[in-house]
Amino acid sequence: MADTRTLPAVAAHGAARLPSVEVDSYNVELKDDEGFLGDRASKGAFTDIVENWRKALRKSGGDPFGDMPTEDLSKKQFDELLTKGEPEAAGLVHGAIEEFSQELALVIRRFLRLKAWAKTERIVIGGGFRAHRVGELAIGRAAIILKADKIKIDLVPIRNDPDEAGLIGAGHLAPAWMFKAHDAILGVDIGGTNIRAGVVDLNLKKKTDLSKAVVWKYELWRHAEEEDVKREEAVDNLAGMLKRLIAKAQREKIKLAPFIGIGCPGLIESDGSIDRGAQNLPGNWTSSRFNLPQALHEAIPKIGDDDTAVVLHNDAVVQGLSETPFMQDVDHWAVLTIGTGLGNARFSNRSSE
């Protein structure tokens, strides 16, 4: 195990108790006879549904998408087909949305049966799939299906752009006092296809609850588009992204807190290691010889004059945390992130205690 004793301890990695919420549950891997239930409500599941509809149409003599492979169709293209496409193509997309919505509603029903999810009042839907109209329609349709079944749950799209929510949520990983003398922090969102790092302007002078936090600048690396990416290469690239962002912030005289908050797939141990659930990342991130917070601290030991604190938590947890200021009217709420997989986390507001 990597030696983490030199890391400043401002917050625990993978903590259940955070400044504003209790994390009741996260990274739950539900299974049925067909495998992981979350696979039925992932971005890939929607692609599979579209392909199945296309196969049926090909047998009857026509595919409105022609020869283009389904996996090459972008969310933007699906959105355009809904509004401007030929009726048959638009109808196919609507059919796929309906089928996906049924699967999403089924998955939500299963989560709501979990003891840790009891009394959940609202579920926020995040992840890349939510970022476009197709995803929004699927969320809305799933909400109607659940209400028709008399399941009392609010289903809402995540408020911030999903690409930025995973960075903004990093501000909720550490106590607010740590940021009082600073303007911004560094946030990192590690996913199965992309790694994103950004400077999050906390805007604490406008709102101390981080409800006005925004992403000032970010860098994106699409590691899934490159062949045979090694774990060490991924960490080096991430460190390079962060160093460039630090330099940009310094040039603009933005006071960066000596803090890096990271969201990463998997079950996060208190020492910063990853127990399981990181199988879509490049290389072996669950090795006992690998510790991401330690590796980044070694690459960026100081920000300004102060030792860098690095805090790691699950990516769905961090994305969900961006909603904390807007969840104060409920006691118990959750997040599902629809991307390469289905991330999940359930929270209880500490203010309700």
What is d(CA 13, CA 15) in angstroms, rounded to the nearest whole number?
5
The radius of gyration of the chain from alpha carbons, rounded to an integer in Å, stands at 21
- DSSP assignments along 67-97, one per residue: T--GGG--HHHHHHHHHHS-HHHHHHHHHHH
- DSSP assignments along 41-60, one per residue: GSHHHHHHHHHHHHHHHHHT
- With residue 219 as reference, give the H or E element that holds it: strand 214-221
79-76-164-238 Cα dihedral, nearest 10 degrees? 150
Q: Give strand pairing partners of 186.
A: 199, 260
Around Cβ 52, how many Cβ atoms within 10 Å?
Answer: 14
- Asked if 14 contacts 340 with a C-beta cutoff of 8 angstroms, the reply is no
Q: In tens digits, what is the pLDDT along the chain, a chain of 353 residues?
A: 344 444 445 678 999 999 999 999 999 988 876 767 778 888 889 999 999 988 888 887 778 778 888 888 887 888 888 888 788 888 889 999 999 999 999 999 999 999 999 999 999 999 988 888 899 999 999 999 999 999 999 999 999 999 999 999 999 999 888 899 999 999 999 998 899 999 999 999 999 999 999 999 999 999 988 888 899 999 999 999 999 999 999 999 999 999 999 999 999 999 999 998 888 888 899 998 999 999 999 999 999 999 999 999 999 999 999 999 999 999 999 999 998 889 999 999 986 44
CATH code for residues 161-322:
3.30.420.40
Task: Tell me the whole-structure pTM to 2 decimals.
Answer: 0.91
For the chain, which residues make up each domain, given as ranges?
31-120, 161-322
What is d(CA 204, CA 314) in angstroms, rounded to the nearest whole number?
25
